Structure 1
Amino acid sequence: MYKQPREVHEARIYTQAYRVYGLIYLVPGAGTADLLNQEKPYLPVTGALLYTPGYTHPPEAKDLKASTGFLALRKERVQWVVGGKPSEPRTSPALLEKRRLALLFGDYLLAGELLLPRGVRLSDFLSQAKPFQTLLEAGLYPLLPDRPIVELEPLERFPFVTVYLRLAEAVAEAPGEAQDPRLTLFG
Structure 2
Amino acid sequence: MYKQPREAHEARIYTQAYRVYGLIHLVPGSGTADLLNQERPYLPVTGALLYTPGYRHPPEAKELKASTGFLALRKERIQWAVGGRPAEPRTSPTLLERRRLAFLFGEYLVAGELLLPRGVRLSDHLSQAKPFQTLLEARLYTLSPDKAIVELSPVESFPFVTVNLRQAEAVAEAPGEAHDLRLTLFG
Give the TM-score taking structure 2 as reference length: 0.95
Matched residue, 1:7:
7
Letter in 2 for 1:31: G
Distance, in Å, in 2 between the alignment partners of 1:176 and 1:25 is 33
Deviation, structure 1 residue 174? 2.5
Distance, in Å, in 2 between the alignment partners of 1:56 and 1:48 is 17
What runs of 5+ residues in structure 2 fail to find an aligned partner? Answer: none
1:126 match: secondary structure: helix
Letter in 1 for 2:167: L
Q: Is contact 2:175-2:183 (8 Å) kept?
A: no
Q: CA offsets, 1:99-148, max 9 Å, x none?
A: 00000000000000000001111000000000000000000000000111
Matched residue, 2:143:
143
Deviation, structure 1 residue 150? 1.0
Q: Is contact 2:100-2:176 (8 Å) kept?
A: no
Q: CA offsets, 1:144-171, max 9 Å, x none?
A: 0011111100000000000001110000
Q: CA RMSD in A?
A: 1.6
Distance, in Å, in 1 between the alignment partners of 2:79 and 2:63 is 19
Q: Is contact 2:49-2:67 (8 Å) kept?
A: yes
Letter in 2 for 1:84: G
Q: Which stretch of structure 1 is more off in the superposition, 168-177 or 57-66?
A: 168-177
Matched residue, 1:105:
105
Asked if 1:185 corresponds to 2:183, the answer is: yes
Matched residue, 1:18:
18
Give the TM-score taking structure 1 as reference length: 0.95
Letter in 2 for 1:69: G
Q: CA offsets, 1:29-80, max 9 Å, x none?
A: 1000000000000000000000000000000000000000000000000000
Where do residues 1-187 of structure 1 align in structure 2 (5 Å cutoff)?
A: 1-174=1-174, 184-185=182-183
Distance, in Å, in 2 between the alignment partners of 1:108 and 1:125 is 23
Q: CA offsets, 1:8-43, max 9 Å, x none?
A: 100000000000000000011100000000000000
Runs of 4+ in structure 1 over 4 Å off: none
Distance, in Å, in 2 between the alignment partners of 1:6 and 1:152 is 39
